[in-house]
Amino acid sequence: MAAPGISQENIVFPARVPPDVKTLIKASKGMDKAFYRKLIKLSLGYLQGSARDGDCEVAVKNLCQAAGATTEQQVMATCVQYAGVVSLLRAALRVNTHTVRQDTFINDLTNLGLSSDFATDLSRVAYGASRNDINKQLVVASPSLPTFTAINWRVEVTISTSWLSRVLEPVVTLRLDKDDKKSCTFEIPLAKFHQLRYTVASLLHQMEALENSPLAKK
């Protein structure tokens, strides 16, 4: 096993370990099992969006009481530990459980300096039977941009303008309806429309190639 904080190939944090996670790792050495399980439960509820702001505030207060945090410094340390578990869970839930074995995942966390019990509890979240439900809740709770619900189009030909007596240039009019009940309409010349089609097709091809690449399957 590599020394704590050093791994030949870090899986959960391939680039660097966030500062709040480093603080959590140091504090976890004297942390009892019941307390870090409360941390995991509260952090998972926050990521899933199942807890409202008021509920989170009450839960954090209860967490501080469970940790015996009475001074401002102790309360701040407990909040940093909570933030560390949130960062740790967020990274753990990005791990591809189809290509990374559970024991490899646990070893990676213990190499960072977490206890084997703590790492095992985190692995049960990442590899447990409820992982699919967790993923669905994370998608619902994640901020997202509006999506298109319908696309309407028509082609118009400008015969003449006040400047030119004969134009005969096709113009494509597109109206995009979004799921936020708003729509946008724009007009583009036929040549630009073909350029738009080519660009979209090229991007889709690149996305498919990226999904099939070995790097995306790690």
Q: Is 192's pLDDT higher than 80?
A: yes
- Cβ–Cβ < 8 Å for 125, 106: no
Using the predicted structure, report yes or no on whether residue 19 has a pLDDT greater than 80. Answer: yes
Which DSSP state fits 93? T
pLDDT at 198: 94
Res. 20: pLDDT tops 70: yes
Distance CA(23)–CA(18), nearest Å, equals 9
